[in-house]
Amino acid sequence: MNRILIVGIDTAAGRSLADKLSETCDLAGLWFSTPTIVSDCAVNRINRTAISEQVAWATTVVFCGAASQSSWNRNFGTFRPEDKWLTPCVQAAKASGGRMVFVSSDAVFSGPWVFHDDDSVAHSEESSAQQLRRFEAQVQTLKNSLIVRTNIVDGKGVVQDAVRAVENGRSVSVDASTYATPVVQAVFASSLVDCLAAGMTGYVNIAGAERTSPYQLVTQLAANLECDSRRVIAKFNTEKPVERSLRCLRLQHELKQRSSMLKDTLEHLADTVTTRENRVAAA
């Protein structure tokens, strides 16, 4: 039976992947900062002993660190989990001969093209992009490794903050300069499960089909939630757009998958935000 270890099971990407895999394989997880319980999954806090033991046990290790969050989030670019734990994981995987998957980010790009293919080399010169490339290079030293680039939006971060402000009658400034192809965590996890089953290696993009900015996304989401979208104010951070959109050709050609449309992403986010707000109100 395939044995999969999710490092960072307390991230949106890690938890969603665990939910998809928990009944189909032998699954274990390590959490960074938030204790996490998943049905039929052995979960522990990350430390060097746990890494050594769990990576040796696993046939596939999936690392979901700070790079796996949306590159639109305010705190993006602080890669503490990768800085502390990626090298020990790579070393342990090299010793055991296991396969490793690293969930990276669309922030390795900033243009010049609007869309970037799976094998694009138009890397950004920004410091966060250079950090991501160093992390990717570490994982690439392993045989059969897979680098996943994505932009996961999960109703938290910039989305939740902006919607909450508008719901409370406040105006909020949202980035209108950075374009991407966001995907919700459930769709991301489903596609990644298929990539794992197909034995993909190299680079693969997992993203939505349509290019948008945080401002456009939040404006449309606010309207869907029947909030006053006029309170969402465009904030232009750069003279020209930052282009991080991904084209998912490998998913299309090798797995016969179609990327999700923006309207589906908005519907899912509306459900997520509404459900979370209801839970908070009930508490």
- Measured in whole angstroms, the distance separating CA 262 from the mean position of its chain's CA atoms is 17
| pLDDT tens-digit readout, 78-122 | 999 999 999 999 999 999 999 999 999 999 999 999 999 999 998
Query: Residue 42: which of 9, 86, 85, 78 has the closest Cα?
Result: 9
pLDDT of residue 22: 86
Q: Which two tokens stand for residue 244?
A: 């991080």
pLDDT in tens, 22-70: 888 999 999 999 999 998 899 999 999 999 999 999 999 999 999 999 9
Per-residue pLDDT, 233: 97
Contact between 158 and 180 under an 8 Å Cβ cutoff? The reply is: no
Q: Which of 50, 140, 31 is nearest to 92 (CA)?
A: 50
Does position 192 have pLDDT exceeding 80, yes or no?
A: yes
pLDDT at residue 238 in the model: 82
Picking from 33, 42, 13, the residue whose alpha carbon sits closest to that of residue 101 is 13
Cβ atoms of 62 and 6 closer than 8 Å: yes
Question: What pLDDT is recorded for position 283?
Answer: 44
- Quote the pLDDT of residue 85: 98
For residue 25, the enclosing domain spans 3-282
- The count of domains in the chain is 1
Distance CA 154, CA 208 (A): 13
CATH number of the domain within which 58 lies: 3.40.50.720
Element (H, E) at 7: strand 3-7
Helices marked H in the chain: 12-21, 48-57, 80-81, 87-96, 127-140, 157-167, 185-197, 214-224, 249-254, 262-282
Q: 114-140: per-residue pLDDT in tens?
A: 999 999 998 999 999 999 999 999 999
Structure tokens, 29: 């997880």
- Give pLDDT, residue 279: 46
CB-CB neighbours of 168 under 10 Å = 10
What pLDDT does residue 4 have? Answer: 97
202 DSSP β-pair partners:
146
- Name the average pLDDT for the chain: 93
Question: For position 10, what pLDDT does the model report?
Answer: 97
* Identity of the amino acid at 246: L
pLDDT of 281 higher than 50? no
Who's near 118: CB < 8 A, 6+ residues apart?
149, 202, 203, 204, 205, 247, 248, 249, 250
- Rounded to whole angstroms, the Cα distance separating 217 from 262 reads 9
Percentage of the chain lying above the pLDDT 70 cut = 96
Query: Cis before residue 112, ω within 30 degrees of 0?
Result: yes
Q: Tens of pLDDT along 203-256? A: 999 999 999 999 999 999 999 999 999 999 999 988 889 999 999 999 999 999
Residue 207 vs residues 112, 166, 210, 222, 250: alpha-carbon distances, Å:
19, 27, 9, 22, 11
Percent of the chain with pLDDT over 90: 85
The edge-to-edge listing of strands for the beta sheet with 202-206 is: 41-45, 26-31, 3-7, 60-63, 99-103, 146-150, 202-206
What is the C-alpha separation between 39 and 28, in angstroms, rounded? 10
| Residue 220 to residues 23, 92, 192, 261, Cα–Cα distance (Å) | 36, 45, 27, 14
